[in-house]
Structure 1
Amino acid sequence: MRTVGLSLGLALLCLLRARAEDRGVAGLDKSKIAGKWHIIALASDSEGYLQKKDKLKMAMASVTVLGDSDLKVSFAIPTPEGCKKSEAIYKPTGIPGEYYSSDRGNKTVQVLHTDGKTYAVILAFRVKDGKTYRMLRLYSRTREVRPKITALFKKFAREKGFTDKMITMLPSQEECSLDGA
């Protein structure tokens, strides 16, 4: 029985690694995701998000790779009350392209796809009050992305079960940024 369990565990690990390779994140060079990003688009199943999605604007994120493979992610998010800034540390889970943070609620993020230079598609899971919420984000080095990348984001969103009503392309904004990022 122990051999069967070990075999199944190894098969699952190989499947996860193959999925990561299919996503374009196996062997992800973390230094390529470091730096400043614009959050161009979102898709979420959170009721709070769905109620205010038409009022949201483009946010910014800055990713710093820490010495022990952790990622420090700083956010600047425009809100009606002003620019909200926050920071979280994400630790690798052992699955290529997946990180976990317990800052401000339990959150797991997966890099679904990236070209390592200009864009990244990130899926986040957050557990709050016993319920799991999902959010897909399109990160870009610039404020605008090619239509091909927008179409790729929407394809991933639909594959993950997000409807068109859950997807938002965020308008650009200048008033909220990460100083020095």
Structure 2
Amino acid sequence: MTAMLLSLTLALLGVFQARAEVPVQPDFDAAKFSGMWHIMVAVSNCPIFQSMKDLMKTSAAMITVTPEDNLHFKIGYPFPDGCKKIELVFEKTGQLGHYTNSRTSWVAGALHTDYTHYAIVYTFKDSDGKSSTTLQLYSRCWEKGTWPTHCRRKQH
């Protein structure tokens, strides 16, 4: 897990440097990407995220494709005082795999995914003249031990 966190941190630093040129999953398939995902790890320079990161636990996201080929996210964040739920629709852009949310000024995309086990997702947020970047590691299953086992298989 430490290696994965280091990899995500390095990727985050690279994304900060080349924000406009973020490469996403080639031939991204929104239909394959849709479904239940567990948000296993997140790194961010967002002040709101930083202030709440110690309270957050593994979150879950249900992603569906709208008739317009946009991505509809329903995310549940468990906190000590209960689950916080948000819903966001990311509209597709002219660039395959890149999405925006006009209400929040967020930009998002899948940097890499195999659609069945993992996805690395980025979001950029511009709010009140302040920019932030978040990288998240998604997993289709959350059972303890599943993700590290999958990572070891992929490395060989």
Distance 1:67 1:38, change over 3 A: same
SS at match of 2:52: helix
1:51 to partner: Cα distance:
3.3
Q: Relative contact order: is structure 1 or structure 2 higher (C-alpha 8 Å, sep ≥ 6)?
A: 1
User: What is aligned with 2:148?
Assistant: 146
Q: Indicate the larger mover: 47-56 or 122-131.
A: 47-56
Q: Whole-Å Cα distance in 2 between the matches of residues 78 and 51 of structure 1?
A: 15
User: What is aligned with 1:108?
Assistant: 107
Percent of residue pairs bearing the same amino acid type:
32
SS at match of 1:142: coil
Distance 1:129 1:80, change over 3 A: farther
Correspondence list, 1:1-181, <5 A: 20=23, 23=24, 25-103=25-103, 105-143=104-142, 144-146=146-148, 149=151
Please give the TM-score of this superposition, normalised by the length of structure 2.
0.75
Q: Whole-Å Cα distance in 2 between the matches of residues 130 and 149 of structure 1?
A: 38
Q: Whole-Å Cα distance in 2 between the matches of residues 89 and 126 of structure 1?
A: 14
Per-residue CA distance 1:30-68 (angstroms, 9 max, x = gap): 111110010000000123322332332000001101121
Distance 1:149 1:48, change over 3 A: farther
SS at match of 1:108: strand
Q: Whole-Å Cα distance in 2 between the matches of residues 28 and 116 of structure 1?
A: 10
CA contact (8 A) 2:111 2:120 kept: yes
SS at match of 2:111: strand
Please give the TM-score of this superposition, normalised by the length of structure 1.
0.65
1:26 to partner: Cα distance:
1.8
1:148 to partner: Cα distance:
6.3
Deviating beyond 4 angstroms after TM superposition, the runs of 4 or more aligned structure 1 residues are 147-150
Q: Which amino acid aligns with 2:29?
A: D
Query: How many pairs were matched up?
Result: 130
Query: Highest CA radius of gyration, 1 or 2?
Result: 1
Q: Whole-Å Cα distance in 2 between the matches of residues 136 and 149 of structure 1?
A: 18
1:87 to partner: Cα distance:
0.8
User: What runs of 5+ residues in structure 1 fail to find an aligned partner?
Assistant: 1-15, 153-181
Q: Whole-Å Cα distance in 1 between the matches of residues 61 and 70 of structure 2?
A: 16
Q: Whole-Å Cα distance in 2 between the matches of residues 60 and 48 of structure 1?
A: 19
User: What runs of 5+ residues in structure 2 fail to find an aligned partner?
Assistant: 1-20
